[in-house]
Homo-oligomer: A and B are copies of this chain.
Amino acid sequence: MGELEDLRLETRAFAEARDWGRFHTPKNLAMAIAGEAGELVAEFRWLTPEESDGDRLTPEHRRAIEFEMADVLIFLLRLGDVLDVDLADVVRAKLAANENRFPPVH
């Protein structure tokens, strides 16, 4: 079983142990993803692009960023679970579709 499938089942178990199923409609999970993505982008808003480099982030800031990234992925895994979407499949399908839109330069 794949790594994403493992993570999907772990996030599902976490939600089920808390009776969160009734909150986790696709609509609500999409809102949760947008909310967490908003927190993630807020971590970077006052940094220059150079200051956002991994080497220049403080350990505390890096940890905050990592947790926001985790939150986005947790809710994306939950949405994949309730909609029965294989995330690896759709990533590869989207990359394939983008091949034609954006031809490689080398």
Contact = CB atoms under 8 A, between A and B. Distances in A.
A106 to B, nearest CB: 7
Given A3-B4, A19-B106, A37 B95 contact: no
A45 B31 contact: yes
Given A27-B52, A94-B74, A95-B11, A36 B35 contact: no
Interface residues of A, number: 72
A67 B94 contact: yes
Contacts of A98: 14
Interface of A: 2-4, 7, 10-11, 14, 17-19, 23, 25-28, 30-50, 52-54, 57, 62, 65-67, 69-74, 76-77, 79-80, 82-85, 87-88, 90-95, 97-98, 102, 104-106
